[in-house]
Structure 1
Amino acid sequence: METIELQQTLPEVFAGRDSIISDVWHRQVAFQRGKTYLVEAVSGTGKSSLCSFIYGYRKDYQGIICFDGENVKNFSVSRWVEIRKRSLSMLFQELRLFPELTAWENVQLKNSLTGHCKRKQIEDWFSRLGISDKWDQQIGKMSFGQQQRVAFVRALCQPFDFIFLDEPVSHLDDGNGKIMAEILHEEAEKQGAGIIVTSIGKHIPLNYDRVLSL
């Protein structure tokens, strides 16, 4: 996948509003593979909706979303499965981890589907992010910041043309945010991938090619 394009896209819930001031909604905007984007937002502007629309979880929007010129609303379930496995990785704000499973088990669930990473690579990421001691701990017993780091590692356990991260450092200190940025840059560069980050304030420190206001 080389391009994600939004054409006059707007959440249906916003349809009755007289005016929408946004660089994304009701515009034509394209995200290119290999580029890095920051989407800045305030609460209530549809940030989480944008993530769900692009990932195919929701279709309650007007306009068109295209992957390489194809309208995603026409994609079959099997097509979406393949896209989420090989082309598009998503780190949701709510993380979507399984609280009863350990950190390693949560990551391994994803990696077993893709076979993308060696265990040694995952162990290295855990070490760099300061959560090696949480490897066998249940997610439900970890802080949200620790969970964010586990979910981030899980998001890397697949090939991707684009990786979408929704407020990935909201509960991290600057040091861990910097380490996350370094790992993210390394992995995206290896795959020639695009990075799309959302933020309502604090954001991961990357060299952004474009900053958009939602």
Structure 2
Amino acid sequence: MERIILKQVLPHVFSESGDVLDSDVWKKDVTLERGQVYLIEAASGTGKSSFCSYLYGYRDDYSGQIYFDDQDIRRLSVSRWIDLRRHSLSLLFQELRLFPELTAWENVMIKNNLTGYKNDKEIEAFFEQLGIADKKNSLVGKMSFGQQQRVAFIRALCQPFDFIFLDEPISHLDEENGHILSSILLKEAENREAGVIVTSIGKHLDIRYDKVLRL
């Protein structure tokens, strides 16, 4: 996949409210290119979660069209969505969606066992770099939210992707760990020639963005 195209997309909730939106995304024609790094800046209530949900294909309560290259995503089959989420799209959810009853390592390996994308040594290096090597065998439910964010980030890297979406990826990280996460992300994206789309309502990755869009 080389590009994601939004044409006059607007969440239904905004259509029903009749609010006039000052947005670079909603009701605009926007193209997100593979290999570029984007920041989607959002105030609370402007549809950040909706934006991620639409691009990942688990909500379609919007008007307008979204295309992956020349394919309208409303016309994609379930099997095609499964293939895209396995090979082309990765998402770090704001709410993380980890399994609290499993260890950090087990949470990551659920993804990696499906894809076989990273070997154990590479995954262990991520844990080391992000300062949670000592938490590898800890239950996620007993870890801090910031530690859980790092686990979810590692999991998001354990698959091929053309685009990776990160929804509020460092909301609970200190500056040092934010820089480390940024460095790993940019290196992985460069190696895959992938597009990076980061959403934020305030604290965001301190990296050079090719484009900043207000939601």
User: TM-score of the superposition, structure 2-length normalised?
Assistant: 0.99
1:149, 1:196 → 2: CA distance?
Answer: 17
Other structure's SS at 1:184 match: helix
Other structure's SS at 2:80 match: helix
| Structure 2, gaps ≥5 residues long | none
1:161 aligned partner, one-letter code: D
1:193, 1:156 → 2: CA distance?
Answer: 12
1:125, 1:116 → 2: CA distance?
Answer: 14
By how many angstroms is 1:189 displaced?
A: 0.3
| Structure 1, gaps ≥5 residues long | none
1:74, 1:115 → 2: CA distance?
Answer: 29
By how many angstroms is 1:7 displaced?
A: 0.5
Other structure's SS at 2:122 match: helix
By how many angstroms is 1:18 displaced?
A: 3.9
Partner of 1:105: 106
By how many angstroms is 1:206 displaced?
A: 1.4
Partner of 1:66: 67
By how many angstroms is 1:89 displaced?
A: 0.4
Partner of 2:97: 96
1:149, 1:19 → 2: CA distance?
Answer: 37
Identity, % of aligned pairs? 63
Partner of 2:133: 132
Superposed CA deviations along residues 41-66 of structure 1, whole A, max 9, x for unmatched, are 01000000100010001011111110
1:203, 1:95 → 2: CA distance?
Answer: 16
Partner of 1:80: 81
Other structure's SS at 1:43 match: coil
2:41, 2:203 → 1: CA distance?
Answer: 10
2:65 aligned partner, one-letter code: I
Partner of 1:193: 194
1:179, 1:106 → 2: CA distance?
Answer: 21
Q: What does 1:13-92 correspond to in 2, within 5 Å?
A: 13-16=13-16, 17-92=18-93
Superposed CA deviations along residues 114-150 of structure 1, whole A, max 9, x for unmatched, are 1100010000000000000110111100000000000
2:206, 2:194 → 1: CA distance?
Answer: 17
Other structure's SS at 2:123 match: helix
Other structure's SS at 1:54 match: helix
Count of residue pairs brought into register by the alignment:
214
1:95 aligned partner, one-letter code: L
1:191, 1:81 → 2: CA distance?
Answer: 20
1:119, 1:48 → 2: CA distance?
Answer: 32
User: TM-score of the superposition, structure 1-length normalised?
Assistant: 0.99
By how many angstroms is 1:20 displaced?
A: 1.4
Other structure's SS at 1:186 match: helix
Question: Pairwise CA RMSD of aligned residues?
Answer: 0.6
Write out the 4+ residue segments of structure 1 that deviate beyond 3 Å after TM superposition. none
By how many angstroms is 1:19 displaced?
A: 1.2
